[in-house]
Amino acid sequence: ELKVEQNPLFLSMQEGKNYTIYCNYSTTSDRLYWYRQDPGKSLESLFVLLSNGAVKQEGRLMASLDTKARLSTLHITAAVHDLSATYFCAVDSQETSGSRLTFGEGTQLTVNP
């Protein structure tokens, strides 16, 4: 059974600071997704990481994937209040080939002025 663990689960940070959210998974995979969810809203796709060493950046967010370590990171640079949301990673195991994503519990990020 594929397990996906995120840490921290709750993160409170000040504007202007940097921080990293970690996503560990338990089985072989070369596809990992990051999503953002605002309170009471739906999920929107942030990044799709498809190979070992993949790195993607959008604004103040940068995601990377290390398939050998079974680890993805979401790095936040110089946080701003608008980044406050819950961030999920989701992994697809090689066995299910894209049909069954397993989500982490989510990291609730609060950026304080």
Partner 1 sequence: NAGVTQTPKFQVLKTGQSMTLQCAQDMNHEYMSWYRQDPGMGLRLIHYSVGAGITDQGEVPNGYNVSRSTTEDFPLRLLSAAPSQTSVYFCASSYSVSVNSPLHFGNGTRLTVT
Site string for partner 1, 19-38 (x = CB under 8 A): ------------x-x-x---
- CA gap 49, 62 in Å, rounded: 11
Is residue 1 within 8 Å of residue 91, measured between CB atoms? no
- CB neighbour burial string for 71-109, b if at least 16 within 10 angstroms, e if fewer: ebbbebbebeeebbbbbbbbbbbeeeeeeebbebebbbb
Sites for partner 1 among residues 76-95 (CB under 8 A): 88, 90
According to CB under 8 A, which one of 15, 17, 38, 48 is a site residue for partner 1? 48
- CA gap 70, 85 in Å, rounded: 24
According to CB under 8 A, which one of 16, 17, 28, 41 is a site residue for partner 1? 41
According to CB under 8 A, which one of 29, 102, 109, 111 is a site residue for partner 1? 102
According to CB under 8 A, which one of 63, 72, 87, 104 is a site residue for partner 1? 104
According to CB under 8 A, which one of 43, 62, 71, 80 is a site residue for partner 1? 43
Q: Which residues bind partner 1 (CB under 8 A)?
A: 4, 9, 31, 33, 35, 41-45, 48, 50, 88, 90, 97-106
